[in-house]
């Protein structure tokens, strides 16, 4: 067995991260039917809801654009779709009447909760043969990676 170079682990991680990103596509998630028989949410719309949820307060389309790493026109189109679905509402910013703030509706929160549960069920199936210790260690390491990644590669503001 040949000795692995220190950079091999980094290359393995990079390949795994690309594979994870590819596996989260609309098509791949669409092949998995949620247990309740419903259709999974379009991942781009889930991203909008997740960005609003992550702010823990009403936010603007600009905030959503920054969180998703897209331009303002793309974010506006995605926000419009979520508003049309009834998952977000636009309200006038009391501090600046020219600006709209976004907030989750009860339906949007329910969609987020449903999607989080569905994804967690998929992850549980993927790791069904893992030990509790392995799942805990993976959770610790991936969380630490995401935290460090955000420090090195901050979101565009």
The residue to which tokens 């049309």 are assigned: 84
In a domain, 144, yes or no: no
CATH number at 57 reads 1.10.10.10
In a domain, 95, yes or no: yes
For the CA atoms of 113, 114, 118, 123, what is the dihedral angle to 10 degrees?
Answer: 0
Q: Highest mean pLDDT: which of 56-60, 82-86, 92-96, 120-124?
A: 82-86
In a domain, 49, yes or no: yes
Query: What residues contact 139, with CB distance under 8 A and at least 6 apart?
Result: none
> What does the pLDDT read at residue 46?
87
Percent of the chain with pLDDT over 90: 45
The tens digit of pLDDT for each residue in 38-55 reads 666 787 888 899 999 988
In a domain, 25, yes or no: no
Q: How many domains does the chain have?
A: 1
In a domain, 70, yes or no: yes
In a domain, 21, yes or no: no
User: Could you give the CA distance from residue 38 to residue 26 in angstroms, rounded to a whole number?
Assistant: 15
Q: Which two tokens stand for residue 103?
A: 């907030």
In a domain, 35, yes or no: no
Full residue range of the structural domain in which residue 72 is found: 41-126
> What does the pLDDT read at residue 117?
86
């Amino acid at each position: 067995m040949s000795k692995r170079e220190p950079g091999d682990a980094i290359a393995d991680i990079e390949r795994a991260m690309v594979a994870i990103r590819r596996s989260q596509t609309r098509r791949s998630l669409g092949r998995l039917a949620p247990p309740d028989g419903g259709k999974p949410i379009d991942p781009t719309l889930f991203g909008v809801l997740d960005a609003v949820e992550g702010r823990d307060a009403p936010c603007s389309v600009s905030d959503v654009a920054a969180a998703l790493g897209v331009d303002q026109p793309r974010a506006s189109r995605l926000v419009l779709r979520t508003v049309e679905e009834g998952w977000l509402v636009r309200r006038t910013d009391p501090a600046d009447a020219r600006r709209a703030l976004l907030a989750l509706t009860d339906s949007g929160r329910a969609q987020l909760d449903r999607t989080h549960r569905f994804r967690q069920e998929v992850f549980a199936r993927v790791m069904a043969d893992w030990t509790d210790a392995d799942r805990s260690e993976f959770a610790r390491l991936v969380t630490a990676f995401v935290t460090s990644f955000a420090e090195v590669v901050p979101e565009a503001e």
